[in-house]
Amino acid sequence: MAKTPPTPPTRSPSHRPLSHKDLIPIGEISRRTGQSVSAIRFYEDKGLLEPIRTGGNQRRFLRSDIRRVSFILIAQKLGLSLAQIQWVMRDLPHGRTPTAKDWRRISKAVRASIDARIAALERTRDRLDGCIGCGCLSLEKCAIYNPEDKLGADGPGPRQVLSEALEAGLAVSE
């Protein structure tokens, strides 16, 4: 199914008619965000960015799209999946700079996921301290965390951390 191109905005965020200074080419957004042109196109294909096409079919982006790409990069660094990023960005306005209220709504939407990731990292850190502190250094024989290697029957990898992460709703690839 072909995507319907977005209606080009005719007004800037300050509600004045758009000028050429409000729009930047793909190379400029690439330079400003540190992302490759192919990454910018990838974000466009995923619906995260909606450039305006010139009469010559060249992509032009609103200056506010720099913030959108920056948010994508930060969200990825925080461990959000592309699907999660798409979900929270779906309601951001197109054709105008998102307001502080728009960004607060997004922040609220991702906060639980970020908090769950922080909790999983803290659990992992604390368990590593405990394991190293007991002196046995063996998860197979450890009488504290995994007596008789019972967790081995649950599957590969760090089962206690993975199972708690799954219960907390984190996406874990196994």
| pLDDT tens column, 137-160 | 565 556 556 666 776 777 776 666
Mean pLDDT (whole number) for 24-33:
95
Distance of alpha carbon 29 from its chain centroid, rounded? 18
- At 31, list the tokens: 């330079």
- At 94, list the tokens: 């197109």
Mean pLDDT (whole number) for 37-59:
92
What mean pLDDT value characterizes the chain? 77
Element (H, E) at 113: helix 100-134
| pLDDT tens column, 104-146 | 888 888 898 889 889 888 887 877 766 655 555 565 556 556 6
How high is the pLDDT of residue 117?
87
How high is the pLDDT of residue 85?
92
Strands 23-25 and 52-53: unpaired
